Each structure stands twice: as structure tokens, then as C-alpha cells.
Amino acid sequence: MAVEVALKMALQYWYSVGNPGKQKVIALRNGYHGDTFGAMAVCDPVTGMHHLFGEMLPRHLFAPAPNCAFDGPCPDSEMVAITDLLSQHHREVAAVIVEPVVQGAGGMRFYSPDYLVKLRALCDAFDVLLIFDEIATGFGRTGKLFALQHAAVEPDILCLGKALTGGYMTLAATLCNQRISRGISDGEAGAFMHGPTFMGNPLACATAIASIELLLSQPWQRQVANLNKALGEGLAPAAELPAVAQVRTLGAIGVIELEEPVDMQTVQPMFVERGVWVRPFGKLVYAMPPYVMGTEDVAALTAAMVDVVAQL
């Protein structure tokens, strides 16, 4: 829902400041932003199966997924396609939306924070808003409280969810800078036009506050660093296996990418038999454990992942 709101916010902003022609969004291939119509329309059109939903789905513009490693620079060649899209379409483009640093459900791909620095500069140059979807990465998952901190780049609109409540209650949040809030408040409607019944639900908000206080009162950076080390060490043997294309970790995310997609019917019972719950998708066998998971449990989890992949 945070993404749905972010898209509405971007469009209402441009309408309010007298630029109603800006109604398209540029999103990235391999991106995932949710399953409602607005959010789905900015997911990867192939893995998001846009063809199933026909005319109901707005048509947006897609740039290639970043292909620069997390720990390296982002060469200018990476920005050519998105620069072309922006220069051709900026008059009709309201915003660019990306998952900063980690493309999650669209492939668990990690990319260079430098890409975000260059993207911010491009958005500024073409007068297009920048939306970061930190629904999966927010609240420490990548080792920084927010993934955008790897790049020290600020978006105009930020989407949060999932770990906002530690997963205990459904709640999402869409944050924006003053340019957006002023633009909308000073515009024709005078307020942002979104108000579902349970917006700002007090119980969910209290849960979020408690969860954030708990997170920040814990040594979460150390916990995530320890998890990173344990995931890296535990999953490393998988890199030698014939079925495996790559093993990678970032913060508290561990991924084994296979050469071929897994058959869920076969694989999931194999994990259950080993006492762990892992939900692979496509070619990815991955884990995003809770920060409180102890060393022995991570060892059991990674051993099961390596063991199951070895049987494939």
C-alpha cells in the first residue's frame, strides 16, 4: 500500500504544481513493488505477469536492472538506457521508483550504491521525482538502518513497511520531503487525497513505535554484522556445488542462486525434514533471518540450505 500511496503522491504533486502531464513512472526490470494494480504496474512486466491483467494495468516505462556490483563503482555505461528514457519522456514522467541497493523479490540482486547517486543527479536534471521502496530493506536489513544510507542519497518519497512493526501488525508508511508536502497542500485539493478507514491505525502505530524502540535499543548493527558473517561462512560450501550459480550475502540476507529454478513441491518438504522453513522462489534459495537468531540456529539453517541444494 505504501507504493500505491507513493505513486498517487507523485501524481498529485505534479498536478498541484501545474504539471498534470507527468503521469508515467520509470521503474526497473527485476523490480518488485507489490501486488495491487498501481504497485504491480511498476513491477517487472515479465516476472510480474502483466499480460494476465490486460487493460486494467497502467503502462509505464522500464529501464534495465542495475548490473554493477554492490562493492564496486557504477560505470556511466550503466546509466545510458535510463538517461535515454528520461531524455525522451521526462515531460510525461512523474517519478522514478527503485528498491535501493537490493532488488528483492525480483531476484535478490545487490547493486552499487553509486547507481543511486547517479540516479538522484539524473532525476534532478530532468525534474523527475525519485521514490525509494525500502519495504524490504528498511530497518537494518542491509547493515544500515535504511539502504539509502549506503549512498547518502535522499529520495523525494520513501516507502516503508514489513519490519516497521517487526512483522506483528500490518502497517506501511509513505514519507515525503517538504517539496512534495508543500506542493500538494498548496494545490487545488489542499490535502493529499488518500484516506482509507484504517489509515494510521492506533494499534498498528503503537506496535510500530514499540518495535522501532526495541530495534534501536538493541545492538542491531552488531547482530546484523554477526548474521552476515554466519550466513557467509555457512553458505560458502554451496558455491562449490554444480547446481549453484552464485552465493551472495549482504547484511542479514543470504542467497544461493541456482542455475535452474527449483521445484517447490520437491524442495520445501526437504527443508521441513531438516527442521527449517525456507521458501525458495525461481532460482533463489534465500534467507532473511530475524536479527535475534543465535549462532546455532543460523548454522542449522545454512547447513540445511547447503544440504538441500547439494541434492538437486
Ligand X SMILES: Cc1ncc(COP(=O)(O)O)c(C=O)c1O
Is position 158 an interface residue for ligand X (rule: CB under 6 A)? no
Q: Which of 7, 26, 29, 34 binds ligand X (CB under 6 A)?
A: 34
CB of residue 303 vs ligand X: minimum separation in angstroms?
26
Q: With binding defined as CB under 6 A, does residue 33 bind ligand X?
A: yes
Would you count residue 3 as binding ligand X (CB under 6 A)?
Answer: yes
* Listed residue (205, 28, 49, 223) closest to 131, CA to CA: 28
* Identity of the residue, 3 or 122, whose beta carbon is nearer to ligand X in the bound complex: 3
- Per-residue interface string for the shown chain with ligand X, residues 116-135, x marking contact by CB under 6 A: -----------------x-x
Residue 41 interacts with ligand X (CB under 6 A)?
Answer: no
Q: Which of 99, 114, 156, 257 binds ligand X (CB under 6 A)?
A: 99
**What DSSP element (H or E) covers 273?**
helix 264-273
Q: Does 105 bind ligand X (CB under 6 A)?
A: yes
Q: What angle do CA 113, 90, 130 make, to 5 degrees?
A: 35
Q: Give bridge partners of residue 102 from the DSSP assignment.
A: 110
CA distances from 200 to 173, 206, 207 (A): 9, 10, 11
227 within 8 A of 293, measured Cβ to Cβ = yes
Which C-beta is closer to ligand X: that of 236 or that of 277? Answer: 277
Within 208-237, the residues that bind ligand X by CB under 6 A are none
In the complex, least distance from residue 101 CB atom to ligand X, rounded to whole angstroms: 11
Closer to ligand X at the Cβ: 27 or 305? 27
Contacts of 110 by beta carbon, 8 Å cutoff, 6+ apart: 69, 70, 101, 102, 248, 250
Count residues contacting ligand X (CB under 6 A)? 11
- Identity of the residue numbered 285: V
Task: List Cβ neighbours of 298 (8 Å cut-off, separation of 6 or more).
Answer: 227, 230, 231, 234, 289
Binding site for ligand X (CB under 6 A): 3, 32-34, 99, 104-105, 133, 135-136, 161
